[in-house]
């Protein structure tokens, strides 16, 4: 890469601050995965449809494959690596485990990062709202039923409150 075209950015990811020199065209997903080695965020389509790369940008879910890393300079990102604390699963992760809401697990980080702000904003969501919230994340293994079940349990147990 040509150095004169690179731009320095500083980003907070899961509470840690990173400063890197990057090409403007670097996708946020590639930045997280290959520059910061946070490979929990997966990439499935690179055109903003599958949702596997969903992360939180200043607390809201976005698709990291259709944002340039340079754009988030000075902002804060949360990824799946930030959910579990001291090896204890986040309650939503635990419910995914209990309800068998994952098979190959490739799409799972994207689902989790979509659901964290969804439950925060919709702590009493019903099934229809849950399914609609999930519709921007594609899963090819589970057929969604157990994911929906896990989110319903999360609502019942007050994960979002």
Partner 1 sequence: MSRAGRAFGQRARRNEDYDLLTGRAQFIDDITLPDTLHVAFVRSDLAHARINSIDTTEARKMPGVVAVYTAADLGDYWAPGPLLVPPPPVKRLEFFERTQVPLAKDKVVYAGEPYAAVVATSRYLAEDAAALVYLDADPLDAVIDLEAALAAGSPRVHEDLASNVAAKVTQFKGDYGSIEQSADLRITQRFVYDRGTAAAIENRGILAHFDPKAQKLLVWDTTQAPIPIRGGLARMLGLAVSQVHVIAPNIGGGFGPKIMMFYPEEVVVPWISKQLGRPVKWIEDRHENFYATTQERGQIHDAELAISKDGRIVGVKDVFLHDNGAHNPYGLTVPINSQCTLIGPYDIPHYHSEFTAVFTNRVTVTPYRGAGRQHGVFVMERLLDIAAKKLKIDPVEIRRRNYIPPEDFPKAQEVIYQDFAELVYDSGNYLPALEKALVHIDYERFRKEQQPQALAEGRHLGIGVVSYIEGTGIGPYEGARVCIEPGGKISIATGIGTQGQGHYTAFAQVVAEILGADIKDIHVVTGDTREFHWGSGTFASRGAVVAGNACHAAALKVREKAATLAATLLESSPDQLEFCDGVVRVAGSADKKISLGDLAAQANPLRGAVKPGTEPGLEATAYFGPDRGATASGVHAIVLEVDVETMMVAIKRYVVVHDCGRVINPLIVEGQIQGGVAQGIGNAFYEQLHVDENGQLLNASLMDFLLPTACDVPTVISDHVETPSPLTPLGVKGAGEAGTIPVGALYAQALEDALRPIAPDLTICEIPLSPNRLFELVYGDEKTSPGRENA
Partner 2 sequence: MKPAPFKYFRPESLDEALALLAKHGDEAKVLAGGQSLIPAMNFRLAQPAILIDINRLSALSFIEEKRGQMHIGALTRHSMVERHPLVAQKAPLLAETMPNIAHVQIRNRGTFGGSIAHADPAAELPAAMTVRGARICLRSTRGERWVDAPQFFVGLLTTAMEPDELLTEVAFDELPKKTGWCFVEVARRHGDYALLGVAATVRLGMMGKVKDARICFVSAGETPALATNAQDALNGQAPSAELAKAAAQIAAAQDIDPPSDIHASARFRRHLATKLTERALNTAFARARGETR
Measured from the CB atom, the residue of 96 and 119 that comes closer to partner 1 is 96
Per-residue b or e along 12-46, where b marks 16 or more CB atoms closer than 10 Å to that residue's CB: ebbeeeeebebbeebbbbbbbbebbebebbbbbee
Nearer to partner 1, 74 or 84 (CB): 84
Asked if 50 interacts with partner 1 (CB under 8 A), we say yes
Q: CA-CA distances (angstroms) from residue 112 to 35, 55, 94, 123? A: 22, 9, 11, 15
Residue choice 11, 70, 80, 125 for contact with partner 1 (CB under 8 A)? 80
Distance (Å, whole) CA 51 – CA 63: 6
Contact segment (CB under 8 A) with partner 1 among 21-29, 69-77, 118-126, 153-161 equals: 21-29
Site for partner 2 (CB under 8 A): how many residues? 30
The binder of partner 2 chosen from 8, 16, 21, 25 (CB under 8 A): 25
What is the rounded (10 degree) CA torsion for 144, 117, 67, 128?
Answer: 40
- CA distance linking residue 70 with residue 5, whole number of Å: 12
Q: Which is nearer to partner 2, 74 or 85 (CB)?
A: 74
Two tokens at 124? 């009493």
Contacting residue, 42, 79, 114, 146, with partner 2 by CB under 8 A:
114
CA 5 to chain centre: 29
**Does position 150 bind partner 1 by CB under 8 A?**
no
Which positions touch partner 1 (CB under 8 A)?
Answer: 1-2, 23, 25-26, 33-34, 37-47, 49-50, 52, 79-81, 83-84, 89, 93, 96-98, 100, 102-109, 112, 130-132, 134-149
């Amino acid at each position: 890469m040509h150095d004169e075209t690179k731009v320095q950015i500083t980003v907070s990811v899961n509470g840690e601050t990173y400063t890197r020199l990057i090409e403007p065209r670097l996708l946020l997903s590639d930045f997280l995965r290959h520059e910061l080695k946070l490979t929990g965020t997966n990439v499935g389509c690179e055109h903003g449809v599958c949702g596997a790369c969903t992360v939180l940008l200043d607390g809201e879910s976005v698709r990291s494959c259709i944002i340039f890393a340079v754009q988030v300079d000075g902002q804060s990102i949360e990824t799946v690596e930030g959910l579990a604390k001291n090896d204890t699963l986040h309650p939503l992760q635990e419910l995914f485990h209990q309800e068998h809401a994952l098979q190959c697990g490739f799409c799972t980080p994207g689902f989790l990062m979509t659901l964290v702000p969804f439950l925060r904003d919709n702590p009493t969501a019903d099934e229809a709202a849950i399914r609609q919230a999930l519709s921007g994340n594609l899963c090819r293994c589970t057929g969604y039923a157990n994911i929906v079940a896990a989110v319903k349990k999360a609502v019942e147990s007050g994960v979002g409150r």
